[in-house]
Chains A and B, each alone.
Chain A
Amino acid sequence: MVKLTIDRNMVEVPPEMTILQAARQMGIIIPTLCYLEGKDPIGACRVCVVEVQGGRNLVSSCSTPVAEGMVVFTNSPRVRRARKLVVELLLSEHEGDCQICDRSEDCELKSLAYSLGIREPHYEGEKPERFLDVSSSALVRDSGKCIKCRRCVTVCNEIQHVGALFPQNRGYKTLIGPAFALGLEDVPCVQCGQCAAVCPVGAIIEKSHVDMVWAALEDKTKHVVVQTAPAIRAALGECFDYPPGTLVTGKMITALRLMGFDAVFDTNFAADLTIMEEGTELLLRLKKALVEKQPVALPQFSSCSPGWIKFTEYFYPEFLPNLSSCKSPQQMFGAIAKTFYAQKKGLRPEDIVVVSVMPCTAKKFESSRPEMNSSGVRDVDYVLTTRELGQMITAAGIHFTALEDGQTDSPLGLSSGAADIFANSGGVMEAAIRTAYEIVTGRELPLVNLHVEPLAGLKGIKEAALKLEQVLPAWSFLEGVELKVAVAHSLSNAAALLDLIKAGQAHYHFVEVMTCPGGCIGGGGQPRFTTDEVRRARINAIYKEDEGKAMRKSHDNPDVKKLYAEFLTDGPCGHQSHKLLHTHYVDRGDKI
C-alpha cells in the first residue's frame, strides 16, 4: 500500500492506482472527458490535471500512478486556471450548436464549461473542416463536434474488436473516424452504438426516427403499434431522474398509450416465441447430429443481437451456418404483427406501422435489412432508442413520474419472466434452458429460482453444463447427454470465444452472444452514462421483474400457444414459421 495526501487528506491505496482512482475513492470529483473505467488511460483531454507538490508541471491524474508521500492538490487555483484553459481551447474548435444538439441535456463538455465558469468564448478563430457522416442506417457522426477524446476509438477497438474508428491525420487536422474519411456504411461497422454511448458530446448519435414516428401517429389512415424491448423497462426511468435499476414497466405502457399508439404490445411476447423457435431449432440440430449422424453446424449461436450478427458476417463468416436462423424478437414481432394480428384486425400489412423501442442502435440497421419483409412490407418500420422515447414522452407533455401503471394489449402483449431476462447477458440462454429442459425431461428445471447462476453477471465469458437424465421417450437420444453452453457479452469476448471454438479448444452445444457489455441493458441506445454500477442495477431490476411473475417459462405463455394453435399451425420451425420467423445471413468477409 502507498500513503499519499490528496487535498490535505491522508489516504492509503494500492500502488497500482492512479491519482484519479485514489481521489474518486475518497469522493473527490476530478472532471474527465476521455477517461473510461476499466480501460488503460487515454490521456487525451487533459481536463483531469492536478498539481503534485514539488512537480514542475501539472500532471494528468488519469495516467499518473500514486507514489509514497505524494502531496496532491486537485483543485488549487493553478489547477482551476489550467482546466479552464483546456476547456476553452476545446470549445474553440467545437461546433457548439448547443440549443439544437442531441446532447443538449447531457453534454459533458457543456456541463464542464458551465461548472468551470466559462461564460464567454475566449479563443475564436479557424475551425477544422467539418464532416457529417449520415451514411449508416443507425448512427450519425459530426466531426465538428468531436473533441478527439478517443473514448469511441477505445470502445470500438478494445471492447468491441471492430476497429471501424481510429484517429486519422494529425494535430489540428485530426479526424476520428474510419480510414480516409469513409462513411460508416462503407466500413465494417456493426452499428452497436457503443461509441455513441460513451461520446462526451454530440459527435456520435443515433439516427433519429422521432419525426417519422410522430408523423405515423398523426396519420389517421395508419394503425400504429408499439413494442418495447425487455431492457427498456429497467432504464427508461433514468430519463426522468429515477435511479438506475428502477422498473417503470407500467408507467411506460401508460405513456405510450397517451402518446397515441393504437396498441401497446411487448417485444417480450416475441422473446417467448423466439425461445420456442430457437429451442426447437437446437433440438433439431442435436437430433440431426446424434440420431441421423449427419454433419450439422454446432454449437448453435443465438441470433437476437444484430451487432453480433453483422460482426459474424464480417469477421467470422465461416460461422454463419452456426447462427440460429431465427429472426430476433424485434423482427419476429414485426412479422407477426403484420400477418397474424393484421388478419385479426382485418387490416392490410401496409396499413400497420410497427414501431420498436430498443436499447440498441443496431436494431435500426436490422430493421432496414432488405430480407426483413415477411409480410411483403417492412417487418418493423421505425426503431426508437430508449433515449429517443424519453425525449418523445417529454415532448408530449407527459408527467412521467405521476403516471398510473398500465397493462399491455392483447394478443401480442403477454409474456413470461423468461422473456424479461433476454435483456441481461446470460438471459437468453437461461430462458432457453428453462424451456428445453422441461420439454426434454417433462420436469421443471431443478435450480433455485430457475436461475442458471454461472451464466449471470458481468464476467466476459461464462459457461455451464447440464446433464439430461430420465428424458421423455421422444428425446431418448439425449439421455445422459451433458448439455454444454457458453455465454459471451461484448464482441471482444465473443471473438475470443470464437477463436477457442475454431481452434478446437472449446466445445459447446449452444452459445449466447450479446454485442454490448452486460447485454441489452448496456445497449448503445440506453440513457447515458452506463457504468458497471449502472449495468448491475439494471440487471438486478430485470431479474426482479422475472421473479415477480407467476409465469416464468416461455412455453407456458398462453398467447404464444394460441398463436401456434391458430396461425403457425405446423408448430415451431414448421413451414409457416420458417417463412415468417426465420431468416438468412450475408457473408461480408470481403468488405473488411
Chain B
Amino acid sequence: MKQISQGLSKDQPVGSCCCGEFSEPEMLKRLDEIIDTYKSADGALIPILQTAQNLFGYLPKNILRRIGERLRIPYSQVAGVVSFYSFFSTNPRGKNLVRVCLGTACYVRGGKEVLSTMQKTLGINVGETTADKMFSLEVGRCFGACGLAPVVMINEDVHQRVKPAKIKELLSFYREAKSQTQEAAAC
C-alpha cells in the first residue's frame, strides 16, 4: 500500500511548453488572457482548460493552480475535472501525439493488439512520452470513424485499418518528418 506522508508530494518545477516556446511569465500572461475571455460564463472551466492545453501542449500544475485561483474554484476540483477527461494531460507531450482508439468498433477489430504493438515499438506505456520527446501515447474513445476501424490518430491525421505489422513504418514517417504542420499539431 502506498503511504502518503508529509512533504512527499511537490509540484513539478514550473514547466514550459514542450517546444520551449514560452517562458513562465509569458505562459501566465497568455493564460490570464484565456481566463479573461471565458471567466464570466457559467462552466468556464472546461473551455479554459481546452484552450490552455491547445496553447501549451499540456496542462502543467502551476497553470491549473492559477486557473483555480482566478476562477475561485478549489485546486482539487480543477484537478478532478482534468483527471476525469482523458483528453487532458498534465504531462508534457512529445512532438507527435499518438492516440489509439479503443472504442467498441476498434476494440473488436484489433485495437488492443494495435495498442500493445504501439507500446512495444515506442517502449512506453499509455500516458507516457518517449525519452527523445518525439512521441506521446494515449488511448482514444471513438473518433467517429468506426467504419475505418481500427483507427489510430497521430496529431491531426487519421490512419485507418491499422495493422500491427505496419506500425514501425507509420511511426518512422513521423519521426523523420520535420514539417511545420506537425509542430503546430503537437504544440
Contacts and interface: CB of A to CB of B under 8 A. Distances in A.
Contact of A179 (B1, B8, B75, B84): B75
B77 A166 contact: yes
28 contacts: A130-B1, A130-B2, A132-B4, A135-B4, A157-B74, A162-B74, A163-B73, A163-B74, A163-B76, A166-B80, A167-B80, A167-B84, A168-B79, A168-B83, A169-B84, A170-B83, A178-B75, A178-B76, A179-B76, A179-B78, A179-B80, A180-B90, A181-B9, A183-B5, A183-B8, A183-B9, A187-B75, A592-B75
A131 B2 contact: yes
B69 interface: yes
B172 interface: no
A165 B3 CA distance: 18
Contacts of B6: 135, 183, 185-186
Interface string A124-148: 0000011111110000000010000
Interface in A147-195: 157, 162-170, 177-183, 185-187
B49 to A, nearest CB: 14
A260 B18 CA distance: 64
Interface string A54-98: 000000000000000000000000000000000000000000000
A293 B2 CA distance: 58
Contacts of B2: 129-132
B4 A180 contact: no
Interface in A578-592: 592
B7 interface: yes
Interface of A: 129-135, 144, 157, 162-170, 177-183, 185-187, 592
A187 B7 CA distance: 11
A194 to B, nearest CB: 15
Given A183-B9, A187-B76, A169 B3 contact: no
Contacts of B78: 179
Contact of A131 (B1, B7, B64, B79): B1
B74 A164 contact: yes
A164 B84 CA distance: 17
B97 to A, nearest CB: 21
B61 interface: yes
B5 A180 contact: no
B11 to A, nearest CB: 9
Given A169-B84, A179-B75, A144 B69 contact: no
B69 A180 contact: no
Interface string B1-24: 111111111100000000000000
B3 A134 contact: yes
B77 A163 contact: yes
